[in-house]
Amino acid sequence: MSQISENLNKLYEEIAKTAEEWGRAADDISLVAVSKKQPDERIDAALAGGHRVYGENRVQEAQERWEKRRAEYDDLTLHLIGPLQTNKVKDAVALFDVIEVVDRPKLARKLAKEMDRQDRHLPCFIQVNTGKEDQKSGVLPADLPGLLSLCRDEGLDIIGLMCIPPVDDPPGLHFAYLKQLADDHGLKQLSMGMSGDYDKAIAAGATAIRVGTGVFGPRPDSA
Ligand SMILES: *Cc1c(COP(=O)(O)O)cnc(C)c1O
């Protein structure tokens, strides 16, 4: 078995164990393997190990990596988890299956229009800037209700909320906050938790965890 299959199996076990500890069903938690910047052979090892759900943060990089693999695997689910410029919306809608980064009216309108045009109505998350950080993507919590109603008016299928906590904060507080916001607005899905804190995210109610280095090892250019 490859190292990556081993990592995946260990993660499935950890997810199941943590879910059980918190009285949750493991089936309700999906592992999004974040393949950004990872070498091809590691991705092919994960695919050979049977994993089918992946996350990417750049549209162009994702196209280069996944367009050909799409042809081979018809059961892939690709999540866009990085900032989306409006001029990349067309390509993003064509390639991805889930858009996790809806965070402003202009983007929401463009996505809705493009999904109509391509007749690909993808499930979306709204990204919330729970730490109110200046440079970070995500809608401010105070602006979430307005953005959510705009998305619903536009016909976007918003299934949940996503966040990336500030690096220096205890992540659990942000996960609990995101869960509260989702409950307040009747949203069922929560994308939160990465390699270092996915257990806390599961405890707080995550339905999708985004794990990169924990699946594939360190990204080569960040060693
Ligand atoms: C890179 C990335 C991850 C994965 O981070 P790891 O620490 O490698 O698990 C998760 N979410 C987002 C939005 C990312 O950009």
pLDDT digits (tens, 9 = 90+) for 80-100: 999 999 999 999 999 999 999
What are the tens digits of pLDDT across the range 54-81? Answer: 999 999 999 999 999 999 999 999 999 9
pLDDT for 182: 98
Nearest residue to 175 (alpha-carbon basis) of 185, 165, 189, 184:
165
pLDDT at 223 over 60: no
Question: What would the pLDDT profile of 210-220 be if each residue is shown by its tens digit?
Answer: 999 999 999 99
Token output for 93: 């809608």
158: left (phi over 0), alpha (psi -120 to 50) or beta: beta
What local confidence, expressed as pLDDT, does residue 49 receive?
Answer: 95
Q: For residue 34, what is the enclosing H or E element?
A: strand 30-34
Mean pLDDT of the region 32-47:
97
Q: 117 CA distance to ligand 1 centroid (A)?
A: 31
Decide if 207 contacts 164 (C-beta within 8 A). no
Residue 15 CB contacts under 8 Å (≥ 6 apart), including other chains: 26, 29, 31, 198, 202, 209
Indicate the residue type of 151: C
Name the CA radius of gyration of the chain, rounded: 17
Sign of CA dihedral 24, 183, 173, 35: positive
Ligand 1 mean position to 46 CA, how many Å? 17
Average pLDDT over residues 5-16: 98
Q: What is the pLDDT of residue 86?
A: 97
pLDDT at residue 54, as a whole number: 98
Q: How does strand 123-127 pair with strand 98-102? A: parallel
Phi, psi of 24 (to 5 degrees): -115, 160
CA distance 145 to 167: 26
Phi then psi for residue 35, to 5 deg, are -95, 5
* Any ligand 1 atom below 6 A from CB of 81: yes
Geometric angle at alpha carbon 93, from 73 and 55, rounded to 5°: 55
How much distance in Å is there from the Cα of 129 to the middle of ligand 1? Answer: 15
Residue 185 three-state SS: coil
138 within ligand 1 shell (Cβ under 6 A): no
The distance of Cα 59 from the centroid of its chain, to the nearest Å, equals: 14
pTM above 0.95, yes or no: yes
pLDDT band at 164 (very low <50, low <70, confident <90, very high): very high
pLDDT of residue 111 exceeding 60, the answer is yes
Residue 102: burial class (beta carbons within 10 Å; 0-12, 13-18, 19+): buried
Q: Is the CB of 38 under 6 A from ligand 1?
A: no
